[in-house]
Structure 1
């Protein structure tokens, strides 16, 4: 394998970084002695997926998507688990004495030589991102932790839970609150949240069973069992989450929803909580929203082709109308909208965001959210915002027919509306 192109040249050619960002990374590389790719990754100038594609092109080595990788036990056992974890590799296929291996370091000849010696095969590398390798290795080898061991996960962590606004506690609820605030329950909930953050999970599922309950993390689209605590802790865990989310903890017969915020490693996470009654108790799902970004999102960083980027920027120049970003969960709708707002914000424009939960703080832009308990609904908020002489209005997910109608009517004014909608495709959103 030979470096056919310098990685910096490829980055500029593909418009992944600017010349200024590349120069800054090269200076940092001189200081640390790290590879340029690792330096760019550490400085958040590129993603792991960007680096995977760059290495593939630079070294003329194929890349692989591990999402649908389902190896047989015989294939996985060709390389011992401790070696897989040590070198962060996975066997992909074997033909005779040739073994194809996924790795994030295809030019590390010492690793390839060790694998050849250990397996007795000739090694052919393919490129995969570090994140996808970690996720797949965890999926293949990780076992659920004992629930008491799970309590130790938070030891030494900096997790801070920020409760939603709460009204005064009724004395009749005092016992339920005390049980939900029990040290073991608090530690267990904190440990689950920390595990989800550490593994970059998008959801936490709390599934009641007849004699126990199970807690799963959704990682890279797939559910993975984290822990199985004893059944007697179920209601207290659910109550703890309801308290954090400002829900009625005695209301167990109808679905409830709320949210709270967590902070870890100087990063904020908005966490939506939804419960629904089931045969063996309240089933609860926590959804992690995109963490607040320290740096402004930019359209140029979202993977648009040059043609698509130019067309989208032209749409953002319009003074009125409705730009709707559609897609499935975690497809990048919010990132696209926030990057668009950062692109068009200007002191001579009045811009306001109005969504059920503010998911990203934007410098220089006014932001608000409804308060259903106070009678300040999404629809009512839109009605009054149209009297605020706003040039650009960003609205959140439109969950009801009334919300959709209100937003469409707002787009007929002299305001440019930016919105997002959950759907499988654009045609589905229109239908």
Structure 2
């Protein structure tokens, strides 16, 4: 594939008939004020969509679109393009040949970024286009283990046989204070932050005979993202138990805990469970994003015909709706979205939940507790 000629994005969009001269002029004026890229301004101002920009670049300039969620990027490529360059220019290397580097970019006409990568790699840059969100997730995946690896090496040098860790607060994972500098804390925080960034529903720490596997459930599929040496197992697990306000000295029975963390200005609830196994305690962390904007039809991915069917479904006056699917597939998010849409002063809504994951104003939410006799059956009879 040949390199793309120098051409401005505004001219491409004008040529595709997606914007007018007036809209371009207004966007350029806004760009001078915000210092943002032209494409970002047009998308943020809802003049065009990101999909329309990508299609125009494909049709007008022949730039290839790459779905980063469907390909595997060799971890060794993190050595080819530095994390700082990737983050500064919103780019991620996809593959390399002896003479070329294929570069996914949110703005493939950013020739400053192209020259920076060309200078750093001494390779010809072949532009590809990807969505901003996909690039951000790919950067997190490609470079996300760097901090974890450094923390693991520090923990190895300072490992304590008891597995004790300091009980620092984990309420704000954006905090850069000295309290967050302990390697165990940095490692656990990096795992939680990566899970939140990649929109994972669960984190699994699974002790094996010689190491601990860290896996995340993303789009319903568990993927291994890190392994932790066996000698660090107790420290890492103890840190998760501290976050969940559990008894760190009790390792013989299952425990449940909850916590809340703040990651990149977003509030995330954590449900933490431990289970003793023959190789040590297994830990499962469920992540619940408290952003209410996610609990709407668009937030759970309903568009077009599916959105129309959904509206018709919740408009029925009676009936039963069954929502089924594997772990992490969005069952709870779908139900809470329906509850929010049905919520009004003219109706009385009662939910029976175990556990209550989101608190919604105006809804009578009941927490099931079988030990006290508050079961699903008794709730339905009430």
* Shorter-chain TM-score range: 0.5 to 0.7
The correspondence for 2:262, drawn from 248, 261, 264, is 264
TM-aligned CA distance change 1:314 to 1:54, over 3 Å: same
Once residues 184 and 19 of structure 2 are traced to their aligned partners in structure 1, the CA distance between those partners, rounded to angstroms, is: 45
Once residues 28 and 372 of structure 1 are traced to their aligned partners in structure 2, the CA distance between those partners, rounded to angstroms, is: 58
Once residues 26 and 339 of structure 1 are traced to their aligned partners in structure 2, the CA distance between those partners, rounded to angstroms, is: 38
TM-aligned CA distance change 1:86 to 1:329, over 3 Å: same
- How high is the TM-score relative to the length of structure 2? 0.67
Pairs aligned (count): 333
| Deviation of 1:146 (Å) | 2.9
Secondary structure of 1:91's partner? strand
Secondary structure of 1:346's partner? coil
TM-aligned CA distance change 1:155 to 1:102, over 3 Å: farther
Secondary structure of 1:258's partner? strand
| Deviation of 1:72 (Å) | 5.5
Is this contact kept in 2: 1:89–1:133, CA < 8 A? Answer: no
Q: Residue 166 of structure 1 corresponds to which residue in structure 2?
A: none
| Deviation of 1:34 (Å) | 3.1
| Deviation of 1:191 (Å) | 6.0
TM-aligned CA distance change 1:226 to 1:97, over 3 Å: closer
Deviates more, 1:112-121 or 1:93-102: 93-102
TM-aligned CA distance change 1:214 to 1:122, over 3 Å: closer
* 1:150-173 alpha-carbon deviations (Å, 9 max, x no partner): 789x7997369xxxxxxxxxxxxx
Is this contact kept in 1: 2:93–2:103, CA < 8 A? Answer: yes
Q: Residue 380 of structure 1 corresponds to which residue in structure 2?
A: 378
The correspondence for 2:126, drawn from 123, 126, 135, is 123
Is this contact kept in 2: 1:116–1:123, CA < 8 A? Answer: no
Q: Residue 225 of structure 2 corresponds to which residue in structure 1?
A: 224
Q: Residue 113 of structure 1 corresponds to which residue in structure 2?
A: 115
Once residues 329 and 35 of structure 2 are traced to their aligned partners in structure 1, the CA distance between those partners, rounded to angstroms, is: 36
Secondary structure of 2:128's partner? strand
1:90 aligns with 2:92: yes
Once residues 238 and 77 of structure 1 are traced to their aligned partners in structure 2, the CA distance between those partners, rounded to angstroms, is: 29
Q: Residue 362 of structure 2 corresponds to which residue in structure 1?
A: 364
TM-aligned CA distance change 1:37 to 1:347, over 3 Å: farther
| Deviation of 1:260 (Å) | 0.8
* 1:218-243 alpha-carbon deviations (Å, 9 max, x no partner): 27453222754635547755764674
Once residues 73 and 273 of structure 1 are traced to their aligned partners in structure 2, the CA distance between those partners, rounded to angstroms, is: 29
Q: Residue 16 of structure 1 corresponds to which residue in structure 2?
A: none
- How high is the TM-score relative to the length of structure 1? 0.61
Once residues 361 and 31 of structure 1 are traced to their aligned partners in structure 2, the CA distance between those partners, rounded to angstroms, is: 39
Is this contact kept in 1: 2:66–2:129, CA < 8 A? Answer: yes
TM-aligned CA distance change 1:343 to 1:261, over 3 Å: same
Once residues 140 and 191 of structure 1 are traced to their aligned partners in structure 2, the CA distance between those partners, rounded to angstroms, is: 9
TM-aligned CA distance change 1:92 to 1:321, over 3 Å: same
Unaligned runs of at least 5 residues, structure 2: 1-6, 21-25, 156-164
| Deviation of 1:320 (Å) | 1.5
Secondary structure of 2:322's partner? strand
Once residues 116 and 223 of structure 1 are traced to their aligned partners in structure 2, the CA distance between those partners, rounded to angstroms, is: 32
Secondary structure of 1:207's partner? strand
Is this contact kept in 2: 1:101–1:124, CA < 8 A? Answer: yes
Once residues 296 and 238 of structure 1 are traced to their aligned partners in structure 2, the CA distance between those partners, rounded to angstroms, is: 26
1:133 aligns with 2:147: no
| Deviation of 1:349 (Å) | 1.1
Once residues 233 and 296 of structure 1 are traced to their aligned partners in structure 2, the CA distance between those partners, rounded to angstroms, is: 34
Q: Residue 63 of structure 1 corresponds to which residue in structure 2?
A: 65
TM-aligned CA distance change 1:71 to 1:33, over 3 Å: closer
Q: Residue 197 of structure 1 corresponds to which residue in structure 2?
A: 193
Once residues 340 and 40 of structure 1 are traced to their aligned partners in structure 2, the CA distance between those partners, rounded to angstroms, is: 32
CA RMSD of aligned residues (A): 4.6
Is this contact kept in 2: 1:71–1:92, CA < 8 A? Answer: yes
Once residues 375 and 233 of structure 2 are traced to their aligned partners in structure 1, the CA distance between those partners, rounded to angstroms, is: 38
Secondary structure of 1:339's partner? helix
1:104 aligns with 2:106: yes
Is this contact kept in 2: 1:296–1:342, CA < 8 A? Answer: no
Q: Residue 53 of structure 1 corresponds to which residue in structure 2?
A: 51
Once residues 377 and 329 of structure 1 are traced to their aligned partners in structure 2, the CA distance between those partners, rounded to angstroms, is: 23
* 1:47-74 alpha-carbon deviations (Å, 9 max, x no partner): xxx9753431243243322234335688
Once residues 263 and 140 of structure 1 are traced to their aligned partners in structure 2, the CA distance between those partners, rounded to angstroms, is: 20
Is this contact kept in 1: 2:241–2:257, CA < 8 A? Answer: no
Is this contact kept in 1: 2:324–2:331, CA < 8 A? Answer: yes
TM-aligned CA distance change 1:231 to 1:295, over 3 Å: closer
